[in-house]
Chains A and B, each alone.
Chain A
Amino acid sequence: MKFWERLGKIDRRIIYIVLAVVVIIPLILTVKLPGKVRAMPRTKDVFDHIENIDPNGKRRAILISVDFDPQTEPELKPQLEAVVRHAFARNIPLLVMALPIQGTDIGIEVFTRLAEEHNKEYGIDYVILGWKPSPVAVILGMGNFIEQVFPTDYLGTPLSELPVMEGIRNYDDVGLVMDFTGSSFYAYWVYYAHTPYDVPVATGVTSVSVADIYPFLGSRQFIGMLAGMKAGAEYERLVKDKYYQDQDIFLRGTQALPALSASLLVIILFVILGNISHFATRRKS
């Protein structure tokens, strides 16, 4: 087999090994990319919206829906953590829920850890509502009365007994619904929360879903979007620059970004090699 032909028929195991190496090395060596992460406009929109929420005003709460499972956790957790840090830094009351059942436990882990880090108290600064079946019924029902859908939190405490819920009845008291999802749950929040109740909605999605979100951004049905791990790193940078300049906080997305960039470079390189081989062999034949 000629060189050009061989270039187009590289064994897939070699591709796997090269990709594994370029992903693992930056993670182990905690490589830092030069320059600051520049926030894209969609990320900045979410940041600015949360900045404008008045923690003592009418629409003071943020409803966070952890609509992802362990499969997409590495990509979405940096976004979730960055938004929670931002809300905690601004003393915004947080309501946490999940449409898929596994999201509850991811939420519990993230909030328990970050609340301890920020000296926030459960029931006073945030509440974990948990999970209920039938996403459409849950979203629509909360527009009428949150306690009707979630009479108690995930621990079984009546919501009426929790100080964080004081004055929070339905979407009229929510300044932003922030949905983090690895599937199409974002559309439910547009159709059943934003459209009938006019509550501002934003979403954090995996990179593969980004293209699907743009029609909703164009129509302003989403006020902003966090797109993949890169947006997690962008948001971390925005939050750190404003609220944690002197603190050494763990930036999950920023740390993973070099591995992501290296893997994309490898894919580009292999695609170029494949095309060189394609043109070289075609010309000869």
Chain B
Amino acid sequence: MKRRIPLTLTLVLGIVMMIQFFVPHQFSQDFKNTALEWLRVIGGFAFIIGLASFITHHYTKIKHKKEGWVYSPIALGALVVMAVVGLIGRSPNMNWLPITVQGQQISVFTYLFANFFTHMMIPLGATMFSVLAFYIASAAYRSFRAKSLVSILLLVAAFVIMLAIIFYNVLPLGDLGEWLLSVPNMAAKRGILLGASLGAIATSLKIILGIERGYLGGTK
């Protein structure tokens, strides 16, 4: 019974939603809108699961003093601070502890949330991502060797694309880069996309028909 109910729901809703797509009748459209509202509500619950997983993960790390556990209290503290500041500061009509910023009266929580985001979250995120550039440069130097015909082709294509960005106003390079992307690249990508889409359709059908049951958890 524990498995039969979700499997039946998946089968019925999967087929109904497929048919609905091709039926323009008002009843069908109303049903779709109701289903979408449900989907948005259910999506909200995913955050509760994510939050629980985040807290459990860091709590376990601290409890067992696993490697790097000292960062876990910081992560949990940041979660609490941002959640409190955001919930109060971003709630409409909740002007607690007002302060004057640039002639405007705003809640201190709104001020803190905006500043935490702009002056901590954005620089930290951008720093993490920009570190990749250094790894890529080092990795390209070590591994980008013209050892075979395929690697030579890859190397030449990469050089053309990079040079097209650098010497943007040198016409032939820009056009050659555009040709590489819009002809050979597009042909390959289209093939991959079609293959992946057919795979996605097959997997969806397997889920709807109850053949693929991984989403229920467990292996049986």
Which chain A residues have a beta carbon within 8 Å of chain B's beta carbons? 10, 12, 15-16, 19-20, 23, 35-38, 40-41, 69-74, 102, 105-106, 109, 132-134, 136-138, 140-141, 144, 148-149, 152, 154-157, 207, 210-212, 214-215, 217-218, 228, 230, 234, 260-261, 263-268, 270-271, 273-275, 278-279
Q: Are A37 and B162 in contact (CB under 8 A)?
A: no
Q: 10 new A-B pairs (CB below 8 Å) besides A134-B40, A156-B93?
A: A10-B141, A71-B126, A105-B117, A133-B40, A136-B39, A137-B37, A144-B36, A214-B185, A260-B165, A271-B144
CA distance A19 to B137 in the complex (A): 8
CA distance A15 to B140 in the complex (A): 11
Given known A-B contacts A38-B169, A41-B178, A141-B40, A271 and B122 have beta carbons under 8 A apart: no
Task: Collect the chain B residues with CB atoms within 8 Å of residue A264's CB.
Answer: 162, 165-166
Q: Are B129 and A38 in contact (CB under 8 A)?
A: no
B65 at the interface (CB under 8 A from A): no
Q: Are A141 and B163 in contact (CB under 8 A)?
A: no
CA distance A147 to B33 in the complex (A): 12
Q: Are A19 and B141 in contact (CB under 8 A)?
A: no
Minimum CB–CB distance from A219 to chain B (whole Å) comes to 9
B103 at the interface (CB under 8 A from A): no
The size of the chain B interface, using a CB distance under 8 A, is 57
Task: Collect the chain B residues with CB atoms within 8 Å of residue A74's CB.
Answer: 126, 130
Task: Collect the chain A residues with CB atoms within 8 Å of residue B168's CB.
Answer: 37-38, 230, 234
Q: Are A71 and B125 in contact (CB under 8 A)?
A: yes
Mask of B59-76 contacts with A, CB within 8 angstroms, 1/0: 000000000000000000
Q: Are B140 and A214 in contact (CB under 8 A)?
A: no
Task: Collect the chain A residues with CB atoms within 8 Å of residue B147's CB.
Answer: 278
- List 22 contacting pairs A-B, 8 Å CB cutoff, sorted by A: A12-B138, A19-B137, A23-B133, A38-B168, A70-B124, A71-B125, A71-B128, A71-B129, A72-B129, A102-B117, A105-B118, A106-B122, A134-B40, A137-B40, A138-B40, A148-B33, A214-B189, A215-B186, A270-B140, A271-B144, A274-B145, A278-B146
Task: Collect the chain B residues with CB atoms within 8 Å of residue A279's CB.
Answer: 146
Contact pick for B181, options A73, A105, A214, CB 8 Å = A214
CA distance A132 to B137 in the complex (A): 38
B198 at the interface (CB under 8 A from A): no
B217 at the interface (CB under 8 A from A): no
CA distance A20 to B127 in the complex (A): 13
Q: Are B144 and A274 in contact (CB under 8 A)?
A: yes
Minimum CB–CB distance from A85 to chain B (whole Å) comes to 20
Minimum CB–CB distance from A164 to chain B (whole Å) comes to 18
Interface residues of A, dominant DSSP? helix
Q: Are A211 and B181 in contact (CB under 8 A)?
A: yes
Task: Collect the chain A residues with CB atoms within 8 Å of residue B117's CB.
Answer: 102, 105
B134 at the interface (CB under 8 A from A): yes
Given known A-B contacts A214-B186, A264-B162, A137 and B141 have beta carbons under 8 A apart: no
Which chain B residues have a beta carbon within 8 Å of chain A's beta carbons? 29, 32-33, 36-37, 39-40, 42-44, 46-47, 90, 92-93, 114, 117-118, 121-126, 128-130, 133-134, 136-138, 140-142, 144-147, 155, 159, 162-163, 165-166, 168-169, 171, 174, 178, 181-182, 185-186, 189-190, 193
Q: Are A266 and B137 in contact (CB under 8 A)?
A: yes
Q: Are B46 and A133 in contact (CB under 8 A)?
A: yes
Task: Collect the chain A residues with CB atoms within 8 Å of residue B190's CB.
Answer: 215, 218
Contact pick for B140, options A73, A261, A271, CB 8 Å = A271
Contact pick for B40, options A35, A149, A207, A217, CB 8 Å = A149
Q: Are A268 and B163 in contact (CB under 8 A)?
A: yes
Task: Collect the chain A residues with CB atoms within 8 Å of residue B37's CB.
Answer: 137, 141, 148
CA distance A141 to B118 in the complex (A): 31
CA distance A70 to B29 in the complex (A): 37
Q: Are B133 and A38 in contact (CB under 8 A)?
A: no
Minimum CB–CB distance from B131 to chain A (whole Å) comes to 10
